[in-house]
A and B are shown apart, each in its own frame.
Chain A
Amino acid sequence: MNIDTVMTEVAVLLRLIPNLRVFDYPISTVEPPTALVSLPEITFDLTYGRGSDKFALPVLLVIGKVVDRAARANLAPYVAGSGPRSFKAALELPDVYASFDTLEVQTCTFDVVEFGAIEYLAGTFMLDITGDGA
């Protein structure tokens, strides 16, 4: 798998979510809701002969200012298991990816992140991606 093409493919599908800004490169300021596809942790050699590798690919969803009362409610559709804004529904599509074999949205954890001295509520989705090693 090539991290460049994998991250691009993930970003392309996330851009189909209505009104979500998606970046697969670092940015200095955000305008929520924004998704940032980050660099993965790579596990090489799941099988012999460079047959298969695994990526743990984090996607940061910045949903709104921490002090924004609506932030939690705005977050809910993205972490839902289904629906037009659901990350799981948008990304867990069988047989559509060209640069890898499977993708599972495994976890989502929540934190406060800072962009431009402003604190935002964010969720980090961890994507489990498996594909060819060669």
Chain B
Amino acid sequence: MAKQHGKRTVIKVGAADLSTYTNASELERTADSHDTTTYGNDAHRYNGGLLDGKFKMSGLYDNTAVSGPRAVLEPLLGVDGTVITRQPEGTGTGKAQDVFSAVLNTYVESNPVADMVTWSAEWSVDGDVNSAPQ
């Protein structure tokens, strides 16, 4: 086992590989917890609840028709069932992978006067995350 560099990360939205337009991404997985503390306990007790998740990605704007981030992402706002594939160590048999369905909640384009145009997108994970290796 070894540390991994982020530059090999692969992000696919549906069939579109947006890796070469992306320079940051983050999968946040959370779970509800329910307080089940009763009399006689000296500390809170909890039971696990529903899983949830958010996925964020961002990068450099590119006006490549069809396969660029604007062309791929903007039409997906609010659309159910977009499949996202995240490969945090890059592509390869046995390497880590997360595949999940998600709804695109936010797509932002930012235009600073003295730098490149950038974009960012935030998704809500819909259902389970399949973390079986590649």
Contact = CB atoms under 8 A, between A and B. Distances in A.
Interface of A: 45-52, 101-102, 104, 106, 130, 133
Residues of B in contact with A, size category: 10 to 19
B96 interface: no
Contact of A52 (B6, B9, B10, B60): B60
A105 B99 CA distance: 42
B21 A47 contact: yes
16 contacts: A47-B23, A47-B60, A48-B6, A48-B8, A48-B20, A48-B23, A49-B9, A49-B10, A49-B19, A50-B7, A50-B20, A52-B23, A101-B62, A102-B116, A106-B114, A130-B116
A47 B116 contact: no
Contacts of A49: 7-10, 17, 19-20
Interface of B: 6-11, 17, 19-23, 59-60, 62, 114, 116
